[in-house]
C-alpha cells in the first residue's frame, strides 16, 4: 500500500495545512492543531475544471476544521490541478467548450465525462482513505464523511455507494442520468444542494437525483439562483450536517 | 388602538416570558432578559388545532430568544387556545374529522378552512404588531420577522404580503391552491419547509407554492419523512435565517 508523503506544511489560525502525495495523487490535508484528540475525517472533492486549492475548497476546509474539529482531505481529480490529462480528457474538454460556444446544453458532455472520471477517481479516493487512516491522528475506525458538489458528486456517489467507511455525505448540483441508479444503493444520511434557477440542470432532474437516494435521513437544500450562485451559508450548513452525523471533537465558538 | 396588557410573567434561563391580552387576542411574548438593548421581533404562528403554548412554539421561542436575542410573540389563532369557536369553525372541524375518518384527503377542508381563518387572523396580527411596537423594548422601526408553518403559513402569507414591516419569513407545509397567487407578491427573503413524504401535501403542490414566492432570496428545505416529521434542526435553521436577515443582538454560545 502506498503511504502519504507530506511535502509541505503550515499552521494558520490553529489550522494545520499539509500538502501530500500518494503515488500519483496530489492532495492537501487540513487538520486541527497538533495535540488535539483523534478526529473524524471529511473527504472533499472539487468541481470540474478546478483543483484541490480552489478558493471554495480552502474556505470549506477551514470552516470544517474550525467549526467541526475535523480533518479534511482534498485531492486533485485525474486530469485536474496539474495532473496529466489523457487524450480522452482533452477530447471531452474540447467538446464541453464547443457546446458552450455553440450555446448547446453542457449536460450531455458533463454527464458522460464525469462518469468516466469517476471510474478513475473512485479507486484513488479508496487508496487515499486507506492511507490517511494509517495516520495516528486519524486512525482506522473513526467517522468519515464525504463532501462534494458538481463533478465531485459524480465521483462521490459511486465512491460512497461502495465505501462502508463513509457514514454521511453532502452532494449536489448534478444530473440523475448516470447517478440515480447508484444513489439508490446509498443509505447513509445525506444533504443535497440544488439551485432553483440552474441554467444547466433542469429542476426535475435535480429533484430526481435527490429522490433516488435510499437514505432514511436526507435533506434537500434548494436556493434561488443560477448554477454557480450557491449561497455561502450552505457551506456552514454542511459543517453542521457533519457535526450532527460524525460528531464534534473540538469546542469552538461557533 | 388597543394596548398590550401583561397578565403574567416569569423569567427562566434568562428568558422573560409574559402572557398578554390585546382585546380578545391572547398571546405570549418571550424576550431577552430585561436590560438588554432593543431587539428585533419575530411573530410566530401555531398550527391548526394547537395553540400559543404548544411545545413546538415554546421550543422555537426559547431558541429564538437564546440564540438570536429576539423578542418572540405567539398569539392564539381565532377559535384556538380557548378562544371561542364560531358555528363555522365547528362545522369545518367536523368536516376535517369526517374526512380523516373516511380516509379522504384532508387538503380540501384544510385549504378552505385556513383561508377563512386567515381573513380573521390577519387583522389580529396587524393589531398585535402595532401594539407590540408601542413597547419600549421593541419600538417602531425595528426589524420584524414572521415564522409560521402549516395553518400559520395560510395566515402568514396574506399577512406578510401586505405588511411592509415584516422583512423576512419562514413558511412551509401548505398547499398552493389559495396561497400561490398571494405568495407572488412577497419579495422578502424566505425559508420554506417541505416534507418529501408528506401524506397530505403532494410534492408538486409544495414545490409550486415555494416556486410562487417572488423573493430573490429564497431557500427550500426538504426533508425525508411524513407531514409531522419535520426535523427539529429546521428550528435551528430558522433561527440562523432570522439572524442573517434581522441581525443578532445578544451574543450567545450557539
Residue A79 contacts residue A145 (beta carbons within 8 Å): no
Please report whether residue B92 resides in a domain. no
Give B245's contacts in chain A (Cβ within 8 Å): none
Share of chain B above pLDDT 90, in %: 90
Residue B151 contacts residue B78 (beta carbons within 8 Å): no
- CB contact (8 A) between residue B237 and residue A237: yes
- CB contact (8 A) between residue B223 and residue A222: no
Q: Which three cell numbers stand for residue A42?
A: 471529511
Find, among A121, A81, A71, A79, the residue nearest to A96 by Cα. A79
The DSSP H or E segment spanning A32 is strand A25-32
- CB contact (8 A) between residue A219 and residue B221: yes
Question: What local confidence, expressed as pLDDT, does residue B182 receive?
Answer: 98
Closest by Cβ to A219, choosing from B218, B222, B244: B222
Domain encompassing residue A223: 5-246
What is the mean predicted confidence (pLDDT) over B168-178?
A: 98
Q: Is A214 helix (H, G, I), strand (E, B) or coil?
A: coil
- CB contact (8 A) between residue B196 and residue A218: yes
A131 contact partners, CB below 8 Å, separation of at least 6: A1, A2, A3, A4, A22
- pLDDT for residue A153 is more than 90: yes
Q: Round to whole Å and give the CA distance between B152 and B57.
A: 12
Question: What local confidence, expressed as pLDDT, does residue B248 receive?
Answer: 67
Please report whether residue B104 resides in a domain. no
Closest by Cβ to B220, choosing from A216, A222, A253: A222
Give B244's contacts in chain A (Cβ within 8 Å): 233
Q: Round to whole Å and give the CA distance between B249 and B37.
A: 7
Reported ipTM: 0.92
pLDDT digits (tens, 9 = 90+) for B8-35: 899 988 899 999 999 999 999 999 987 7
What is the mean predicted confidence (pLDDT) over A63-67?
A: 95
- CB contact (8 A) between residue B219 and residue A223: yes
Contact with chain A for residue B232, Cβ under 8 A: no
* Phi, psi (deg, nearest 5) at residue B41: -120, 130
pLDDT digits (tens, 9 = 90+) for B74-101: 999 999 998 999 999 999 999 999 999 9
- CB contact (8 A) between residue A219 and residue B220: no
- CB contact (8 A) between residue A223 and residue B221: no
Question: What local confidence, expressed as pLDDT, does residue B73 receive?
Answer: 98
Question: What local confidence, expressed as pLDDT, does residue A196 receive?
Answer: 98
DSSP annotation of A217: S
Q: Round to whole Å and give the CA distance between B27 and B41.
A: 14
Share of chain A above pLDDT 70, in %: 97
Q: Which three cell numbers stand for residue A56?
A: 471554495
Please report whether residue B105 resides in a domain. no
The DSSP H or E segment spanning A193 is strand A190-195
Task: Tell me the pLDDT band of A13, cut-offs 50, 70 and 90.
Answer: confident
- pLDDT for residue B212 is more than 60: yes
Q: Please compute Rg for chain B using Cα positions.
A: 17
- CB contact (8 A) between residue A211 and residue B218: no
Please report whether residue B103 resides in a domain. no
Number of domains in chain B: 1
The DSSP H or E segment spanning B115 is helix B107-132
- pLDDT for residue B245 is more than 50: yes
Contact with chain B for residue A187, Cβ under 8 A: no
What is the mean predicted confidence (pLDDT) over A159-185?
A: 98
- pLDDT for residue B250 is more than 60: no
Please report whether residue A71 resides in a domain. yes
Q: Degrees (nearest 5) of the Cα angle B226, B232, B235?
A: 115
- Cell 408538486 identifies what position? B204
Question: For residue B192, what is the nearest residue in chain A, using CA coordinates?
Answer: A222
Q: Round to whole Å and give the CA distance between B104 and B126.
A: 35
pLDDT digits (tens, 9 = 90+) for A102-126: 999 999 999 999 999 999 999 999 9
- pLDDT for residue B179 is more than 90: yes
Question: What local confidence, expressed as pLDDT, does residue A226 receive?
Answer: 98
pLDDT digits (tens, 9 = 90+) for B216-229: 999 999 999 999 99
- Could you tell me the CATH number of the domain that includes residue B183? 3.40.50.1820
- pLDDT for residue B254 is more than 90: no
Mutate to test the interface with B, among A222, A223, A236, A248 (most CBs of B within 10 A): A222
Rounded to a whole number of angstroms, the distance from the CA of A211 to the nearest CA of chain B is 9
Q: Is A223 helix (H, G, I), strand (E, B) or coil?
A: strand
Helices (H), chain A: 55-68, 87-101, 107-132, 151-161, 176-183, 203-212, 233-246
Mean pLDDT, chain B, whole residue set = 95
Contact with chain A for residue B245, Cβ under 8 A: no
pLDDT digits (tens, 9 = 90+) for A189-244: 999 999 999 999 999 999 999 999 999 999 999 999 999 999 999 999 999 999 99
Give B222's contacts in chain A (Cβ within 8 Å): 210, 219-222
Task: Tell me the pLDDT band of B253, cut-offs 50, 70 and 90.
Answer: very low
Contact with chain A for residue B133, Cβ under 8 A: no
- pLDDT for residue A96 is more than 70: yes
pLDDT digits (tens, 9 = 90+) for B43-61: 999 999 999 999 999 999 9
Question: What local confidence, expressed as pLDDT, does residue B160 receive?
Answer: 98
Please report whether residue A198 resides in a domain. yes
Question: What local confidence, expressed as pLDDT, does residue B175 receive?
Answer: 98
What is the mean predicted confidence (pLDDT) over B148-173?
A: 98
Question: What local confidence, expressed as pLDDT, does residue A249 receive?
Answer: 55
- pLDDT for residue B209 is more than 90: yes
- pLDDT for residue A251 is more than 60: no
Give A222's contacts in chain B (Cβ within 8 Å): 210, 219-222
- pLDDT for residue A250 is more than 50: no
Q: Is A22 helix (H, G, I), strand (E, B) or coil?
A: strand
- pLDDT for residue B251 is more than 80: no
Contact with chain B for residue A224, Cβ under 8 A: yes
Mean pLDDT, chain A, whole residue set = 95
Please report whether residue A106 resides in a domain. yes
Question: What local confidence, expressed as pLDDT, does residue B249 receive?
Answer: 55
- CB contact (8 A) between residue A224 and residue B218: yes
Please report whether residue A252 resides in a domain. no
Amino acid at each position: 500500500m502506498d503511504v502519504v508523503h507530506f511535502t509541505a506544511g503550515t499552521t494558520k489560525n490553529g489550522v494545520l495545512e499539509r500538502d501530500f502525495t500518494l503515488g500519483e495523487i496530489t492532495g492537501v490535508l487540513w487538520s486541527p492543531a497538533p495535540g488535539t484528540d483523534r478526529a473524524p475525517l471529511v473527504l472533499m472533492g472539487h468541481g470540474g475544471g478546478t483543483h484541490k486549492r480552489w478558493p471554495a475548497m480552502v474556505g470549506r476546509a477551514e470552516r470544517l476544521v474550525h467549526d467541526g474539529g475535523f480533518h479534511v482531505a482534498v485531492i486533485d481529480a485525474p486530469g485536474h490541478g496539474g495532473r496529466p490529462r489523457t487524450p480522452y480528457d482533452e477530447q471531452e474538454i474540447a467538446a464541453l467548450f464547443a457546446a458552450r460556444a455553440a450555446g448547446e446544453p453542457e449536460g450531455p458532455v458533463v454527464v458522460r465525462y464525469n462518469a468516466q472520471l469517476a471510474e478513475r477517481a473512485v479507486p484513488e479516493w479508496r487508496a487515499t482513505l486507506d492511507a490517511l487512516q494509517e495516520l495516528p491522528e486519524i486512525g482506522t475506525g473513526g467517522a468519515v464523511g464525504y463532501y462534494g458538489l458538481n463533478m465531485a458528486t459524480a465521483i462521490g456517489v459511486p465512491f460512497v455507494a461502495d465505501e462502508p467507511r463513509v457514514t454521511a455525505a453532502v452532494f449536489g448540483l448534478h444530473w440523475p442520468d448516470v447517478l440515480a441508479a447508484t444513489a439508490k444503493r446509498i443509505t447513509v444520511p445525506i444533504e443535497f444542494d440544488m439551485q432553483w434557477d440552474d441554467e444547466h440542470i433542469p429542476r426535475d432532474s435535480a429533484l430526481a437525483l435527490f429522490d433516488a437516494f435510499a437514505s432514511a435521513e436526507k435533506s434537500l437544500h434548494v436556493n434561488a439562483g443560477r448554477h454557480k450562485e450557491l449561497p455561502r451559508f450552505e457551506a456552514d450548513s454542511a459543517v453542521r450536517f457533519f457535526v450532527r452525523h460524525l460528531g464534534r471533537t473540538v469546542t469552538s465558538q461557533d
